[in-house]
Amino acid sequence: MTCPICGTFVLFGGVKDGKLRYCSRKCYDADEVTRVAKQVPAALVEKLAGELHGSPCPKCQGDGPVDMHESHSVYSVIIYTRWQTKQHLLCKRCAAKQQTMDLLGSLIAGWWGIPFGIIVTPGILIMNVNSMLKNPGADGPSDALKQRARMLLAAHRLAGPRR
């Protein structure tokens, strides 16, 4: 079993919470927001997701709707390759700009690592094009936006006054 926070393989020991096993108390504590998020009522999640969806874009301040959009990137140098997926709360226009920048950056800087740069880069480029063609939240808040709202509510609950 792997730690849900850092991905470390945990065979013995660690901290167990239901079906999850964390490698250390530090990782267990870091996952507190996720545990609290499971307890947030669905009505609150729907309300906040709807408010976020109808709000102005956090980047350009233009009219929404805003939703969660993915962009993918890869960077390679000789034997080092790093690829990642990022989630952005943006309007469709700002999301397309971010996805285009990540696509162009990957097109330029993704190929230069052996062997993974050459292997990973085509997939990252295809994933970006697919993300650009999607329009999450066109018919209301997407599941990804609802999950973001759930995590925001959980973080707010944890940051609230402690007794």
Residues 92 and 50: their CA atoms lie apart, in Å, by 16
Q: What is the pTM of this model?
A: 0.79
**96 band by pLDDT with thresholds 50, 70 and 90:** very high
pLDDT at 2 over 90: no
Give residue-wise pLDDT tens across range 100-150: 999 999 999 999 999 999 999 999 999 999 999 998 888 899 999 999 999
